[in-house]
Amino acid sequence: LGVPTIKIQPTENGYIKEKPLKDYFLTYKKELLVAGCLLFALILAIAIGVGVTYSCVGKFRCGTSSKCIRNSAQCDGVTDCDHGEDEFKCVRLSGKNSVLQIYSGGSWKTVCSEDWRDAFGSTACRQLGYTKYVNSSSLPLSSIEQDFQKDLVSINLNLPVGHTFKIHNATHVSRTQCISGKVTSLKCLECGSRPQFSTRIVGGNESSEGQFPWQVSLHFQREHLCGGSIITTQWILTAAHCVYGFASPSFWVVYVGIIDQPVPGVSSHAVLKIFYHWKYKPKALDYDIALMKLKTPLNFNGLVEPICLPNYGEEFEDGELCWISGWGATEDGGEASMSMNYARVPLISNKVCSQPTVYQGYITPRMICAGYLEGGTDSCQGDSGGPLACEDASVWKLVGATSWGQGCAERNKPGVYTRISQCLDWIHEQMEREEALHPTTFSNGT
């Protein structure tokens, strides 16, 4: 494999240093052998003492615990897991048209548009972790992807003013066809636009104001360490390896709307909480995703804007040209850039990226590759956590977060990014849980 490295900028104070993945892989076999022996002994002891083995196969696992419940008990309005995990992740937006689906009776169901009310839309947006609701619209059933046409449901609950509920617990009727012939599309956030960027600016690779208004700089103890992306007024998405072992919010500040480093005189934003995926393992860099919740909401002004998350089941084609940006080094092992740079790179299928000459054995479904197999253009150290952004019908979507690669811009070693569409459940669960614990003032509109 060579020497793959996480794309994080080392700091001079010695608290965080870039570590080649080769160091992990060389010790991995030894650790695996020892761990395997210990695990076998533990399993044997449990099997002898208890006389049974317990499996979650075909069931819903309650978070990181060993407790399992039947799938039909998930999203049924009754909390069965100790921390309520079974009543989160019950709403999702699917396909290119953001079709609303709810989880009920053990399967995902597309919501028909008849009897639909704005109150339902507000509730669904809150369950997705958003603090605003923009609008709902109706789409012909035949215009959406076939995978979402099969299992349908109508919601027809009459609610008193001020009544709170969860959309998946509302009264609903399962259907094989929508009476209206239409389904519901939902929009919770105005995102993915660049209102202050002039597309007439061409040439060079240094970013201009408003070109990537969702890009942020994450400073660890007063130094730029990683990038990130704005996804709502209070949430920043970045890579887990940026914060792993250093997840104390007091270590970090976030700078938004800037294109140059350092940033004297520019106000920073304090971090309230940091979450990284519970399945993240630094030796494999799978599930390399984290969220930062800011102490105070951002003001969107054209130079600071959120990027849209992709929807469930939304596909981005091999060869599609997307954009990477950040303050990373301009050459492998170099210093961080003082100006934000950007580059256009094509997406590479996991099949190609898993070939023996590329990254055989290390690409998982939670990863997506982008770059040129001939080399020359890539993200680098200091770009970690930053966006891989793709434009679709003038709307920008966060397809990936910069994760790792072998060196920078080497032949047959493209950049590897966390595939955001594979992490949506986790993202919305963190946002929904925080919204449930600390509700904000909810509003309609943008």
What are the CA-CA distances from residue 243 to residues 15, 225, 289, 371 (Å)? Answer: 12, 10, 10, 25
How far is the C-alpha of 156 from the C-alpha of 21, rounded, in Å?
54
- Which of 288, 325, 378, 379 is flagged as catalytic? 288
Answer for the pair 289, 280: CB distance below 8 angstroms, yes or no.
yes
Q: Identify the residue whose tokens are 């992490």.
A: 423
Q: What is the DSSP annotation of 92-149?
A: EEETTTTEEEEEETTEEEEEBSTT--HHHHHHHHHHTT-SEE-EEEEEEGGGS-GGGS
Q: Judge contact between 316 and 390, C-beta under 8 A.
A: yes
Residue 288: active-site member: yes
**Closest residue by Cα to residue 103 from 70, 67, 76, 141:** 76
Cβ neighbours around 107 below 10 Å, total: 14
Instruction: List, in order, residues 6 or more apart from 439 with CB less than 8 Å away.
Output: none
241 part of the active site: yes
Say if CB 386 and CB 227 are below 8 A apart. yes
- 262: nearest Cα among 340, 324, 342: 340
User: Is 82 a known active-site residue?
Assistant: no
Which residues 6+ apart lie within 8 Å of 4 measured at CB?
Answer: 20, 21, 22, 359, 362, 404, 405, 406, 413
Positions annotated as catalytic residues are 241, 288, 384
